Every structure is written in C-alpha cells, then in structure tokens.
Structure 1
Amino acid sequence: MTHHVLYDPEGRLTAELPPDRETHEQAVRTALAWSSPLDVPADDVAQIGHLLAGAARVVAEEVRACAARLPEDDGRRLFAELILREAEGPLSQPCTSLNRVHSRARLIRSLYERLDRVRSAAPADEVTASSP
C-alpha cells in the first residue's frame, strides 16, 4: 500500500477531506514516542512536520466549522476561536527539530479535544451533516 503526504499550507483541501482521526492519532502517538533526535533521521523531521501540520490544519478547519454553528456568546465557541488563533503561530513556523514535531503532535491532540467539545455542543442535525 502506498501513502502520499499532502502538503497544503493554504488549507485548500480541508473543505474536501474530512479529518482521518485514526491516522492522525497514530501519527501523533508515533511522533511523541520519539524521545531523542537520534530516533528520527534529520532529513525526515521536516517531512514529518509537514504531515503533522497538514493534519492539524484539517482538524482546525473542522473545529472552526463546528464552532461557527454555536452562538457567538457560547464559551465553547470563544475558547475554540482562541485555540485556533494560537495554533496559527506554531503552524506557520518551519519544523526543524524534534521539539517542534512534538509540539505539533500535542497541538493535534488539543484540536481533537476541542473538536469533540464543539461537536457535542452543536445541534445534532448539524453535527451529523459535517461528520465524516
């Protein structure tokens, strides 16, 4: 089986590709298991960073879409918007170290936690329409 890493820094594909949570969580677990820069070849760090950034952007877009369906004064929406703004900084930086790989992996976990919260708060008919 062949896998392709999609690099989509502008987020054009996020509207067409739903989050693949199982794959994303496996990538996060694998990345966080590396405890030393010697665990991963230096040439692969940037590629892994691109993969994780792409996953984070897909999940962030889903969080954004679900949060937008909540009332403007809902605390879950406000907190989701704050997390999304804070995510842009790390995602805009090049991934040049294992520390940044770990940061992106933890960011994906945070985004999925937020996605679960905003999905549970959205009206049921709207959630099922956007679920993969």
Structure 2
Amino acid sequence: MNSTHTVLYDPTDELPLDREAHRDLIQAVLAWTAIPKPAAADLQHIALQLTGAAQAVASDVRRTAARLPGDHPALALADVVLAEADRRLSVAPQATVRCVQNRARLVRALYERLDRLTDVTLATSP
C-alpha cells in the first residue's frame, strides 16, 4: 500500500532546508495586497508549506540553542521565540491570507533567531 504522507523535512537527513525558496515565498506572501485573493486551495498549500518550514526551523533553533551553555544570555530570547512558535503552530493552518502571512512572519523570525544563535555558537566555540 502506498502512503500519501509526504515528509517536508527530515532533520536526520542532514540536508539543509531550501532557505532561498522559503525567503522567496515569504517575500511574495508578505507583498500580497487584498485584491486579488489567491484561491483557497493555494492558500492551504502555502500555509502547509510554511507550517512545515516553521517546524523545521524551530527544530534547528532548538538544536543550535542546546549547544550553548545553560546560562548564556542568548537562550532567553531563543526560549521566547520558540514558545511563541509553539503557541502559533499549535493552531491548525487556515486557508486565509492572514494565516499565511502570519506563518511567513513566523518562519522569518525563526530564521533570524537561528542566524543569531549560529553566530553566537560560532563565536563561543573553542
């Protein structure tokens, strides 16, 4: 029996996320105006793509943060961003422009936090 389940991202696969594609999608989504509204099926598909990206980047943020000492100041903001991501991702994505744009903003915020944490971990590496 064939599975209809599609894996968006497998963190054990060692393949990086397609960050440029995410960046382009985020820019396009955030540039949308009220008219014309994309079709509901398109919105649902994009919402699912961005949800998968947000979950994957959040996992990367967690792994990167775990490499820092427990008292490092960068962990506080990482915890706040991850808590907000968990809260927002606990709600099922909707086929609305507002939902899609909010997911795009979330992915952008997670990538920003990941970049900052990566910089900090590189600076603190022996």
- TM-score norm. by structure 1 comes to 0.79
Q: Percent identity?
A: 39
In 1, the alpha carbon distance for the partners of 2:75 and 2:18 equals 23
Cα RMSD between the aligned structures? Answer: 2.1
Going from structure 1 to structure 2, the CA distance change for 1:124 and 1:75 (only over 3 Å counts) comes to: closer
- Kindly report structure 1 stretches of 4+ aligned residues shifted beyond 4 Å: none
**2:12 maps to 1:15:** yes
Contact 1:53 1:91 in 2 (8 A): yes
State which structure, 1 or 2, has the greater radius of gyration over its C-alpha atoms. Answer: 2
Going from structure 1 to structure 2, the CA distance change for 1:21 and 1:64 (only over 3 Å counts) comes to: same
Deviation at 1:45, TM superposition (A): 1.3
User: Aligned to 2:11, what secondary structure does the other structure show?
Assistant: coil
Q: Any unmatched runs of 5+ in structure 2?
A: 1-5
Q: Any unmatched runs of 5+ in structure 1?
A: 1-5, 127-132
Give the count of matched residue pairs.
Answer: 118
Going from structure 1 to structure 2, the CA distance change for 1:33 and 1:112 (only over 3 Å counts) comes to: same
Deviation at 1:15, TM superposition (A): 3.2
In 1, the alpha carbon distance for the partners of 2:35 and 2:55 equals 25
**2:65 maps to 1:62:** no
Deviation at 1:44, TM superposition (A): 1.5
1:130: which partner in 2? none
- TM-score norm. by structure 2 comes to 0.82
Going from structure 1 to structure 2, the CA distance change for 1:124 and 1:74 (only over 3 Å counts) comes to: closer
